């Protein structure tokens, strides 16, 4: 195994997905493998699923994992859509011990941001870029001059209707409330316009599951900022988690 191959894992609300990544090319080296997220998504069960993924690929090298949480120095600080038992746990230490491999943890949206800025829709964009990942929750990524402001958590801002953005416009809300795409698109438009008003980004990138079907809601969006879909689609989280691990291992310039 070379220096640049790292197993990327994306811990999502409904699935935990992984694949070995060539971090130099930003490409998966094997087809991604997905295991449904255990319920409850507590420490024991999720650690077990992560070990299963590592075994599935017979992986013996470094691992990068995107968590749907604020992550500071490997410690999980929030748990909006996962079991609360994770809060305060140093997942990086815990999973390194459990797997016997060097494990690095990063916020899932920040991971997707690294990947899109290096290999995807944000390549060569130097100004303020916002990436919004839409799935079970809403994740956000803020880049300025190609530098990440980590853990921005803009899915938790309150809109002028008094509702938290994630509870109003996440894809999971569209599904539970049985909304059609036009109705959901109007909600998403309201959220994007709020972000536009606050940050004046040069570009907004849309990631997560909804980036695969833009034609369904793009007609409902009316916003004065360039919008692009994430190029790496759902693989951005996996690729970015591996990139974050590579960064932590200081293999950036090899």
Binding site for ligand BGC (CB under 6 A): 68-70, 78, 80-81, 107-109, 133, 137, 139, 153, 155, 166
Query: Which DSSP helix (H) or strand (E) runs through 204?
Result: strand 203-207
Q: Least distance to ligand BGC from the beta carbon of 137, Å? A: 3
Q: Least distance to ligand BGC from the beta carbon of 110, Å? A: 8
In this complex, which beta carbon is closest to ligand BGC, that of residue 43 or of residue 112?
112
Q: Least distance to ligand BGC from the beta carbon of 97, Å? A: 24
Q: Least distance to ligand BGC from the beta carbon of 1, Å? A: 29
Q: How far is residue 199's CA from residue 113's CA, in Å, rounded to a whole number? A: 17
* Residue nearest to ligand BGC according to CB distances in the complex: 137
Distances (CA, A) of 125 to 2, 118, 203, 204, 247: 30, 10, 8, 11, 20
Q: How far is residue 45's CA from residue 48's CA, in Å, rounded to a whole number? A: 5
Query: Which DSSP helix (H) or strand (E) runs through 243?
Result: helix 236-248
Q: Three-state SS for 74?
A: coil
Q: Which two tokens stand for residue 134?
A: 């839409």
Q: How far is residue 109's CA from residue 78's CA, in Å, rounded to a whole number? A: 14
In this complex, which beta carbon is closest to ligand BGC, that of residue 116 or of residue 153?
153
In this complex, which beta carbon is closest to ligand BGC, that of residue 7 or of residue 70?
70
Q: Least distance to ligand BGC from the beta carbon of 78, Å? A: 5
In this complex, which beta carbon is closest to ligand BGC, that of residue 59 or of residue 151?
151
Beta bridge partners of 200: none
Burial (0-12, 13-18, 19+ Cβ within 10 Å), 253:
exposed
Q: Least distance to ligand BGC from the beta carbon of 152, Å? A: 9
Beta bridge partners of 9: 18, 65
In this complex, which beta carbon is closest to ligand BGC, that of residue 18 or of residue 139?
139
């Amino acid at each position: 195994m070379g220096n640049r191959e790292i197993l990327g894992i994306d811990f999502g609300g409904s699935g935990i997905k992984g694949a070995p990544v060539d971090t130099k090319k930003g490409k998966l080296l094997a087809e991604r493998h997905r295991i449904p997220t255990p319920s409850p998504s507590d420490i024991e069960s999720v650690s077990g699923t992560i070990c299963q993924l590592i075994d599935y690929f017979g992986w013996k090298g470094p691992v990068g994992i995107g968590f749907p949480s604020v992550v500071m120095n490997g410690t999980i600080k929030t748990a909006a859509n996962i079991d609360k038992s994770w809060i305060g746990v140093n997942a990086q230490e815990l999973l390194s011990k459990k797997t016997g491999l060097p494990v690095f943890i990063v916020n899932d949206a920040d991971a997707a941001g690294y990947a899109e800025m290096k290999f995807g829709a944000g390549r060569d964009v130097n100004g303020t870029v916002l990436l919004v990942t839409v799935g079970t929750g809403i994740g956000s990524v803020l880049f300025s001059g190609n530098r990440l402001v980590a853990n921005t958590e803009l899915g938790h801002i309150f809109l002028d209707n008094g509702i938290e953005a994630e509870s109003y416009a996440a894809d999971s809300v569209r599904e539970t409330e049985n909304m059609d795409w036009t109705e959901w698109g109007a909600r998403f438009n309201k959220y994007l316009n709020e972000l536009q008003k606050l940050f004046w980004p040069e570009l907004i990138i849309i990631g997560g599951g909804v980036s695969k079907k833009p034609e369904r809601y793009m007609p409902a969006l009316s916003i004065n900022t360039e919008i692009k879909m994430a190029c790496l689609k759902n693989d951005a989280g996996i690729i970015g988690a591996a990139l974050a691990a590579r960064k932590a291992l200081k293999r950036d310039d090899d």
